[in-house]
Amino acid sequence: MTSCYIIDDELHAIQVLAGYVNKTPGLELLGFTENPLEGLNEFREKGYADITFVDIDMAQLSGIEVATLIGNKTSVVFTTAFPKYAVEAFEKDASDYILKPITYERFLKCINKITARTGSKKENDFFYIQCESKGKIIKLNYDDIIFVEALKNYVSIHTSDNKHLTYLTLKEMEGSLPSNRFLRIHKSFIVSIDKITNLHGNQVFFSNGAEITIGPNYREEFFSIIGEKLLKSKRK
């Protein structure tokens, strides 16, 4: 489980984030406070959460000051209604910077980003998506994904036994998937390198029987990566 804590002097903002945490599998809410000083005291007494959401613009202590006091003991995510704080926030090595009002899609993107970078190997092996069915969240393992297909405003994630439609762009998926395991081979497709079974000319074949043509703009990178794994005889 990934633990979360919320520091924000607006109760409504806390309620929104707490709701997101509580409905997301794999997350647990350790606590929240409207008083940043109380939050710091609770950290000292009970320990730090894995992820701490901190509002920047607070009266008693700014989020920037809170992050300075916390140091690197937790992954800090700044939440604010003001984009002007972005540079200062990232100078504090913030894990993310989210503008209010915060949507659930943006929240999930933040969680996936942090767990992919700082989580354990087990946590790195999966991520969450919100499906076409409103309110339905699905956990997907990297090992199960064969390829991702762009479909206008959505992407279809094809697994070994199913496919899942979610409101994301292919570019957003490309930025979230580990580059050592997934590769874009066409303007409309990202594929799992592990699930490739054979190649013939510009055609790539996969473990589920699917066949995808390599786009001309992606040929060079694709064959460069495949070439690194190609066994060749050193005999003359």
The whole-number pLDDT of residue 125 equals 78
pLDDT at residue 134, rounded to an integer: 67
Structure confidence at residue 93 (pLDDT): 75
pLDDT > 90? residue 12? yes
Question: How far, in Å, CA of 169 to CA of 24, rounded?
Answer: 21
Give the DSSP letter of residue 64.
H
Q: What are the two backbone dihedrals, phi and then psi, of residue 81, each rounded to the nearest 5 degrees?
A: -95, 0
Task: Find out whether 160 and 208 touch, Cβ atoms under 8 Å.
Answer: yes
Give the Cα-Cα-Cα angle 109, 27, 156 (nearest 5 degrees). Answer: 40
pLDDT tens-digit series, residues 69-98: 988 889 999 998 888 777 776 667 788 889
Class in CATH terms, 2-121: alpha beta
80 forms beta bridges with: 99
Res 170: pLDDT:
92
Phi-psi region of 109 (alpha: psi -120 to 50; beta: other; left: phi over 0): alpha
Q: Where are the domains of the chain?
A: 2-121, 129-229
Q: What is the pLDDT of residues 112-170, one digit of tens each?
A: 888 876 654 444 578 889 887 667 888 898 989 999 999 988 999 999 889 999 999 99
DSSP letters for 116-163:
HHHS-HHHHTEEEEEBSSTT-EEEEEGGGEEEEEEETTEEEEEESS-E
Which residues, 6+ apart, have CB-to-CB distance to 197 below 8 Å? 205, 206, 207
Distance CA 117, CA 42 (A): 26
What's the pLDDT score for residue 176? 80
CATH architecture under which domain 129-229 falls: Beta Barrel (2.40)
Using one digit for the tens of pLDDT, what is the confidence trace for 179-232?
Answer: 778 999 999 999 999 999 999 989 999 988 999 999 999 988 888 888 777 787
For 155, the token pair is 């992407």
Q: Is the pTM of this model over 0.85?
A: no
